[in-house]
Chains A and B, each alone.
Chain A
Amino acid sequence: MKKLFAIALILGSLNACSIPTLRATGDMGLIIERAIGRVQVVEHSQNTSLAKIEGLGDLSHASIVYSRDQRYGYVFGRDGGLTQVDILEQKIVKRVIQSGNSIGGAISQDGSLIAVSNYKPGGVKIFATRTLELVADIPAVYGDNKLSKTVGLVDAPGQKFVFSLYDAGETWVVDMQDTHKPVITKFTNTGSLPYDGLITPDGRYYIAGLFGEDGMALLDLWHLEKGIQRIMPGYGRGREPLPVYKMPHLEGWAMAGNRVFMPAVGQHEVVVADATSWKQVGSIPVYGQPIFVMTRPDNRQMWVNFAHPRNDTIQVIDVETMQVIKTLKPGKAVLHMEFTPRGEHVWMSVRDEDRVDILDTESFEVIKSLTVDKPSGIFFTNRAQKIGL
């Protein structure tokens, strides 16, 4: 009798073990619900929401990077919170409040370090990915011992992080090859009020957008000795800029062939530049002031969203002809878009309508909508394998 019971127990537990089916995370992602401190775990094979994870604090302007095994998302919150989320077990693993006010982060080339960009106190903090223990604290000191807000933090090849100092107009390159001895190279002539930065998909060029003056600042990471180069000179000169109701984002900028497409600041235009000479070669008139200019993974289309008060609209540009081929009105406050890894679908957050729409990028039809509370950023796990994301 006892034996039978034991066998039944073993069978029972075997049965229990077989319930959670094995699952990989390559088709998964997280969506920020900015107003209620929650993220939704989603998957884009069947286009479903799998779980909601609460308790992440102030998620306005939150962003996420992924561990290289694509299991963990690291969520950077506005309130300085850094939260490690397990997307398989659908729970928070660890959460630290690492500053008073932060703006985003990056994961190192080898995946072992997470860097966070802070407004208050201004600087960058670097943590061990596995434990979230502080590894390096880099205050953005400038001038008379002042601290600058930091922006445009990206990872770069060679276990580096690059970021800009908004108040100081500087760009710093931090080499973390020796974790205990960060080597910082400072460039002090970036220009006035760098508001965001980006790195080309190959990890070679870092570009900072400038709010306080015309043009952009370029740093060739293969040749740091060349220093900051000013590119796109005179852009916007002689024209009255429009009021900017929302800063453009340079992340997810579009590069197709030799052409680079970026949001113009204070103009209803997408700027086209040549990626060898870094000179402006054209511009594409669009419906409003662009916020995100994102290429579909095959680089054939560019999808653009716009600043308040024109943020109810999306335009699609054909890269070959540089013409707007489609204008969509998804609803009030389209904040962010994310393509599936090979680009057949795009997910977009319609904040004021509490919806994420999933569109077919060929037919432009909405194939499904998910209910998401005040959605902002959408982040799929394939970002884990991309430089600068």
Chain B
Amino acid sequence: MKTSLLIILLALVTPAQAELTQQRLQELKHLLKHDCGSCHGMTLNGGLGPALLPGSLKDKPDELLFVTIREGRHGTPMPPWKSLLSDDDIKSIIKLLRTPPE
């Protein structure tokens, strides 16, 4: 009985979460292009801030990117994004950054 209830609950919850995640991913892609892009260029090939294309980031480990996005870089205009982005958001953005542009 308990198990079947759990299955029903999961069935109710999971698709909605998946949808939300997909929507959030779209929001993050948009943020990356337009808002990160205001300093790093809309195509992420650099501007006031450095280029963020996979090639230009290949020597930077995920941990460094994570801390940079989360906490910002002191002494540069790179702001901390932690008040706007969750840790999962930041990990998704790093994945996006590692993916070559279409």
Binding site for B on A (CB under 8 A): 34-35, 58, 60-61, 78-79, 101, 103, 119-120, 149, 151, 166, 193, 195, 211-212, 243-247, 308-309, 333, 351-352, 374
Contacts and interface: CB of A to CB of B under 8 A. Distances in A.
Given A60-B42, A245-B35, A119 B77 contact: no
Given A101-B46, A151-B48, A243-B80, 5 more contacts: A58-B42, A166-B48, A246-B35, A246-B39, A374-B34
B35 A308 contact: yes
B41 A101 contact: yes
Q: Is the interface of B mostly helix, strand, loop or mixed?
A: loop
Contacts of B46: 101, 119-120
11 contacts: A35-B42, A78-B47, A119-B47, A195-B77, A211-B77, A212-B75, A245-B79, A246-B38, A247-B48, A333-B34, A352-B34
B84 A149 contact: no
B83 interface: yes
A101 B42 contact: no
A86 B43 CA distance: 27
A247 B77 contact: yes
B83 A58 contact: no
B77 A58 contact: no
A258 B55 CA distance: 51
Interface in B41-98: 41-43, 45-48, 72, 75, 77, 79-81, 83-84
Interface of B: 30, 33-35, 37-39, 41-43, 45-48, 72, 75, 77, 79-81, 83-84
A309 to B, nearest CB: 6
A61 B79 contact: no
Contact of B84 (A120, A309, A352): A309
A333 B33 CA distance: 13
B47 A243 contact: no
A34 B83 contact: no
Given A101-B47, A243-B83, A78 B42 contact: yes
Interface hub of B33, B35, B41, B48 (most chain A Cβ within 10 A)? B48
Contacts of B42: 34-35, 58, 60-61, 78
A58 B43 CA distance: 8
A352 B27 CA distance: 11
Contact of A119 (B30, B34, B38, B48): B48
Nearest to A242: B79
Given A119-B48, A246-B35, A78 B41 contact: yes
Nearest to B82: A243
A149 B34 contact: no
A247 B40 CA distance: 12
